[in-house]
Amino acid sequence: MSQPSPAVVLLSGGLDSATTLAIAREQGHACHALTFDYGQRHRAELIAAGLVAQRLGAASHRTAVIDLRAFGHSALTDDDIDVPKDRDETDMTDGIPVTYVPARNTIFLSYALALAEVLDSGDVFLGVNAVDYSGYPDCRPAYIAAFQAMAQLATKAGVEGRGVAIHAPLIDLHKTDIIRRGLDLGVDYGLTHSCYDPIPDPGRPTGVRPCGRCDACLIRKHAFEQLGQTDPVLEPSA
Amino acid sequence: MSQPSPAVVLLSGGLDSATTLAIAREQGHACHALTFDYGQRHRAELIAAGLVAQRLGAASHRTAVIDLRAFGHSALTDDDIDVPKDRDETDMTDGIPVTYVPARNTIFLSYALALAEVLDSGDVFLGVNAVDYSGYPDCRPAYIAAFQAMAQLATKAGVEGRGVAIHAPLIDLHKTDIIRRGLDLGVDYGLTHSCYDPIPDPGRPTGVRPCGRCDACLIRKHAFEQLGQTDPVLEPSA
């Protein structure tokens, strides 16, 4: 029996990347999850990534410490910028969000490319989504295609004819479709973390509960509601 | 009088990047130097970068700590792989060198892109050289062009029509031409560090002297000789 082909899966600990890992697993890949500690305010995201990687049977899970905080310029890494609350979804897609991190997906994909080369992997998965994050340039299909074209020229594997494919299986899906797909694949969304402004809660596996009011919380909440469900992270603590 | 336009310059502390910084300065940019601490064996490289940035009048100098060591797979970051010595230049350009770091320039350029966005800079300079480093895929002109194409789609600036140009002014130059250009611009190559296997020497500004025998030392040595000069880092310590 042949070994399953290795894939690198970018795993933030959020809903989208958890679903992406489940999709890559379903396709038969041995999945090497890669998470970034980039000075985000909330360690819950890193804890969630570890829980999700384990639950979904990742072959390995690495957390790379990267140093974006020195560059500032984002609500996710800069304590002086407020996280917007209670916005409706029209506001969220208006322009580039305050939570934008400069060149984030480019940096993350670059690390994934390095790991793919080390693992002799030809497949990188990431959970970007152009529908809900239309304001982020680096979540769009043209960007992903351009990154893949660059990657072919960047590495030994590319130059020797074994390319690297960048897979973004969620890119055209609405949040409800993503969640429906993940539920079919057995993703436990109660282990994921998306909130930009969580509240400490030692009774939770991630150590926090979501605020329920930031953009990330509201997008999830509304999508679960459209499926006639409650987002499990919004259930009261046991 | 208008402000000089800001540029991001990748600065390793080696000969090529020092020359690149001098070229970017000559073009009138306010140069923001960016160095990476990626677990390289020799801190001398980081010290050299600081000395070069200061001497050449960089507007700022950042060192970003990145975490490539967890990925292994290179003589520059893995103590178990020997640095090749006393090779002739035919061997050096035969295939991809053992000192290859996976996806290194892609990762470095990604950080540069992030910093360029934060500084509202449209110009990134790096000292890659396709002549002496033909074995590295990510030193070739096609790679640089593909990175720039990707960068246009990756950032707010690109999407809003203010592009980022990736400048590799040394890409087609032979080492002798690089050194001649740098000497004309006043680069003090005695502050630079290129050696893969240096010897501690507290009498030197970088704290080490070069081995004189690894590929990096030999390429410099021969180029200075062709100009009728001695590489200043190979002069005996005072």
A106 inside 8 A of chain B by CB: yes
Partner B, chain A 22-81, Cβ-Cβ below 8 Å: 62, 64-68, 70-73
Q: How many domains does chain B have?
A: 1
Residue B113: count of CB within 10 angstroms of its CB: 28
Report the chain A residue with the minimal C-alpha distance to residue B32: A71
Closest residue, chain A, to B153 (C-alpha): A143
- Torsion-angle region of A230 (φ positive above 0: left; ψ -120 to 50: alpha; else: beta): beta
Q: How many CA atoms lie within 13 A of A52 on its CB side?
A: 37
Residue B35 with chain A: CB contacts under 8 Å = none
**Following CA atoms A171, A172, A175, A177 in sequence, which dihedral angle do they give, to the nearest 10 degrees?**
-120
Record the tokens describing residue B153, joined without a space: 């789609």
Establish if A1 belongs to a structural domain.
no
B157 within a domain of the structure (yes/no): yes
Q: For the residues B215-233, what does the mean pLDDT come to? A: 94
Residues of A in contact with B68 (CB under 8 A): 114
- B115 touching A, CB under 8 A? yes
What pLDDT, on the 0 to 100 scale, is given for residue B152?
92
Span A148-185, pLDDT tens digits: 999 999 987 777 778 899 999 999 999 999 999 999 99
In a domain, A237, yes or no: no
Residues of B in contact with A158 (CB under 8 A): 137
Chain B residue closest in CA terms to A142:
B153
Q: What is the pLDDT of residue A198?
A: 92
Query: How large is the ipTM?
Result: 0.85
Whether the CA torsion A157, A159, A161, A163 is positive or negative: it is positive
Lowest mean pLDDT among A2-11, A18-27, A40-49, B68-77: B68-77
Residue B153 in this model has a pLDDT that exceeds 60: yes
CB contact under 8 A, B150 and A67: no
What's the confidence (pLDDT) of residue B88? 66
Residue A69 has what pLDDT?
60
**Structure tokens belonging to residue B43:** 């801190």
Interchain proximity A103–B155, CB inside 8 Å: yes
B1 within domain boundaries? no
List the CATH number of the domain containing B147.
3.40.50.620
> How confident is the model at residue A78, as a pLDDT?
46
Query: How high is the pLDDT of residue B125?
Result: 98
Whole-angstrom CA distances from A45 to A70, A76, A208, B139, B172 are 20, 12, 10, 36, 45
Pairwise CA distance, residues A114 & B109, whole Å: 13
Bridge partners (DSSP) of residue B33 are B9, B61
Q: Which helix (H) or strand (E) holds A28?
A: none
B110: closest chain A residue by CA = A107
Quote the CA–CA distance of B131 and B140 in Å, as a whole number.
Answer: 9
- Domain contains B123: yes
- In tens, the pLDDT along A110-132 reads 999 999 988 999 999 999 987 76
- Residue B237 covered by a domain: no
User: Tokens for B114?
Assistant: 């992030």
Average pLDDT over residues B36-49: 84
Question: Domain range for residue A212?
Answer: 6-232
Interchain contact, B73 vs A117, CB within 8 Å: yes
Q: Which stretches does DSSP call E strand in B100-224?
A: 123-125, 165-167, 199-200, 208-209
Angle between helices A104-119 and B104-119 (to 10 degrees): 170
Is A56 part of a structural domain of the chain? Answer: yes
Average pLDDT of the segment spanning A203-219 = 91
Question: What's the rounded mean pLDDT across residues A37-52?
Answer: 86
pLDDT > 70: percent of chain B: 82
From the CA of B135, how many Å to the nearest CA of chain A?
Answer: 9
Angle CA A22–A28–A31, to nearest 5:
60
Domain assignment present for B135 = yes
**Mind listing the pLDDT tens digit for each residue in B18-35?**
999 999 999 999 999 999
